[in-house]
Amino acid sequence: MCRRTTPSLRIALALPALIALHASPGAVPAAAQVAALAGRFAYVADESDDIEQAIDRGTAELNFFKRPIARGRLRDVNAAYQTVEIEQTRSSIAIGFDGHPPIVTPADGAPIRWRRDDGEVFRVRAEWLDDALIQVFTADDGQRENLYTLDPDGRTLRMRVTITSRQLPAPIVYTLVYRRVE
């Protein structure tokens, strides 16, 4: 005997799977989110935080010997990118800076191994968190998190940078602002 399911029963049977898919951290976001954040953006210096001040504040409590070393290293690797380009396919997220080849990671947040121009190796991952895109660089001595959000105007991209290390007394946090390039 073949039993037919009613529409309400089909919804009840599918609901747990839909909830799990929506709640899973590696779920691909809605197409509208991807389309909104995808594009090329140019740096807006006068609306961005001062990176030098953020580094100085974050290293102020270090001792006399460690402070200049930490500040020098942080300044070397925390310049403001002049352009950011974001693309996503169903299976990957590509984020490029200043015309360099993009860093392409799986869209589900799985890490890849990536080598910066100076030779330092990182584990890099990217994934969607609600309506934000997070990109995390992890090295043996610390981590940098870039959190990308789009303002309601659809043109302004904010990249909140958080740097953590067991060598730092507290995280260094600053925000860089970018405008969509038409």
Task: Provide the pLDDT for residue 117.
Answer: 86
pLDDT reading at 94 higher than 90: yes
**Alpha-carbon gap, residue 161 to 149, rounded angstroms:** 12
Per cent of the chain over pLDDT 90 is: 68
Task: Provide the pLDDT for residue 131.
Answer: 85
Helix-, strand-, coil-residue percentages of the chain, each rounded to 5: 25, 40, 35
**Alpha-carbon gap, residue 35 to 88, rounded angstroms:** 8
Strand order in the sheet with 112-115: 103-106, 92-97, 83-88, 39-43, 172-180, 156-164, 142-150, 132-139, 121-129, 112-115
154: alpha, beta or left? (left if phi > 0; alpha if psi -120 to 50): left
Please tell me the pTM assigned to this model: 0.80
Query: What digits encode the pLDDT tens for the residues 15-69?
Result: 333 333 334 444 444 445 556 789 999 999 999 999 999 999 999 999 999 999 9
Secondary structure of residue 93 in the 3-state scheme: strand
pLDDT reading at 152 higher than 70: yes
pLDDT reading at 166 higher than 60: yes
